[in-house]
A and B are shown apart, each in its own frame.
Chain A
Amino acid sequence: MPMHIGEKDFKKRVTKGIEDDFMRGAVRSAQGRLQDKRATAADELGDWEDWRTLGSEIRSHTIEHLDYYLNQLSEKVAELGGHVFFAETGEEANEYIQKIAKEKEAKKIAKSKSMVTEEISMNEALEEIGCEVIETDLGEYILQIDDHDPPSHIVAPALHKNKEQIRDVFNEKLGYLKTEKPEELALFAREKLREEFLSADLGITGCNFAVAESGSFALVTNEGNARMVSALPKTQITVMGMERIVPGWEELDVVVSLLTRAAVGQKLTSYITALTGPKQLEEADGPEEFHLVIVDNGRSKILGTEFQEALHCIRCAACINVCPVYRHVGGHAYGSIYPGPIGAVLSPLLSDYDEYKELPYASSLCGACTEVCPVKIPLHEQLIMHRRKMVEDEKRTTLSERVAMRGFEQLMNSASLYRTATKMAPFMSTPFARKQMITKGPGPLKHWTHARDFPKPENERFRDWFKNREKRGEQDAKR
């Protein structure tokens, strides 16, 4: 699976994450910063909830009419002289991109940040045919240099590294001799990348939003690299996930505002680049040839299902930035290039439950993700929906769990059974209890008591107290 990253076993990935103190420190501090900035940026807007509602309506409408808008987009792009390719799978997309690279005899390819190209392993496909692919987003560049360390976050892919680690990577791989100051690190990367832009034969960009009415593509960056990638090379390829589209510029205004505020707490990022087709006669720069690759890769099978809202995602990562599970295990533990709550929802959909059966359970359902999502995707409810699918359609849960839940239903459905069970509980638990606490639980409870004590049930249940009190009350009344 191209989406998949790291160790196969989920438990091992989690343990590795939990034991990585450097990563956890870096993630903790980044989350803290991003949460504060997002909250401030949302407050500044004044009526954040209204904006969220609008964003949700725009995404909902667009995805409901996705075929219409994709059609409009591709017609516009063709009118402008661009080429459009619909790829049903990642392989189809890569074959098409390889074909262009071969035709252009491209040696060096400059690329701006794109999650969908990670998803389909486009870089590897291009490297297979002898191309050198240069990531020009600073975070992606750091990871690429560091022996292709996978991204751990969809907006800040190198979030798991602190500045000292980045300094060391630059030093080891590129002979960097300055300090870990972010400004110095960025300046160094900028100089290196400038050479790459000028010598690239092909530019490849991702797509934050395609604008259907004009056949344009909006790219949101803080480094201006997408602009360089699309302005300098003679041929440009834009790769987009098929859901990353808005009807028009008015809608773009709303979703870009939501994206930048939710993602990094900025009113707007330093650069919002809008590209419309290849260079026209009256234009001074831009590519001579433009290709749009629209990638399905499992998205259309989500349409019309209970998970359709997952396609509303605008990839802001706000859910990842508030997620306490993500904070403790880090992005790599998810085993997918899409981590965090949205990753736990999307990864099993784009791949399958064989690959990602644990992810829907890697959430305490605290709802922080749902609360913060700028387009109101009910993320924690989607995780419950995954669990339900695995129970009902796939029968994937263990026999012991199914038996336990059946037992739970019968117990909770019967007042008398419940009364008997709760009455017995204190006596059943006595062998495990020291004073009022159980320190070493039997069965599944042992997972709880690994780090926590469990209270021993009270001898007098609440219901006994209430009943006795009523009796006492009656007696008082008689006296």
Chain B
Amino acid sequence: MAEAAARIGRPSREAVANAVLALALLAAPLIALQAGEPYYVNLSTRVAILAMAGVGLNLALGYGGMVSFGHAAFFGLGGYVAGIAAHHAFNYDLFMAWPVELEGTNQLLAIWPVALLVSGLAALLIGAFSLRTAGVQFIMITLAFAQMIYYFAISFPDYGGEDGLPIYTRNALPGLNTFDPLTFFLVAYGALMLAIGFTWVIMGARFGAALQAARMNETRLATTGIAPYPVKLTAFVLSGMITGLAGALFADLNGFVDPSMLSWHRSGEIMIFVILGGVGRLFGPVAGAALFVLMELFIGQWTEHWMLVLGLVLLTVVLFASGGLMGLLAGKPRHD
């Protein structure tokens, strides 16, 4: 906790880098609008949402040391909540008739809590089983559970199966026009900043100290009288919920949801945001997601084989440049 407090206390290089990243992401769509390039507004929204998915994973992976290879499950479930709610609202039919009658809705203030609830419950179930193991088994099991949900989504035809579900009109917020790209960007940006703020608050609290201790040495944590399992499970659930909410936003941004949101490539991508940015760094996922989207854009214009370039860049970062982008911008972290 002392180290977290120290980081909060004085403006470190990392704090400056964080502020620059936050402002740059906010400025990007405004500059794009000024320059008459509205395409880049949606691109900025994409960065904000993907970064938020990474912020969720970072809580489990970076701070808690739980290498989840299944976070696409939560991302996709959040997306499907938005898609299914909009689907029933569009068709004026019921989601379920028993035991209570539930209609669809296009109100984000109703959709988001449900997305948080569904992804949180899924994370509770997956985490409860997966955290019985550690290390390489944990990686494989989280991957396997995410695949289970992926295959279910593909084989269950009511919600589009392999084709997915369209969201014909973007879900709404009272008093705001979510169709306006800049408004929707600000919604996504606000959600991202809330998620980062939430991470910052809990990592500065006793819970955060316990979580970091669970990552470094579970036995020592246990000898101080704190059971590691509930701490890690709580962090895993919170992590899944943040990524789930990002998924709901992502579905609305794209106007559809399909099983690829649940695929293991997506899990790998979310992991890449965290690693490219810097594991366990507050703004790491923002830096990572921005770099990823920019690489996708610019290398994608230059060659259709941009995944090859991404693979080689990732390989180089892992083999020779651990610490990620935040490591370059703000130096080594002060702990471990």
On whether the two chains bind one another, the answer is no
Chain A residues engaging chain B, CB cutoff 8 angstroms: none
Chain B residues engaging chain A, CB cutoff 8 angstroms: none
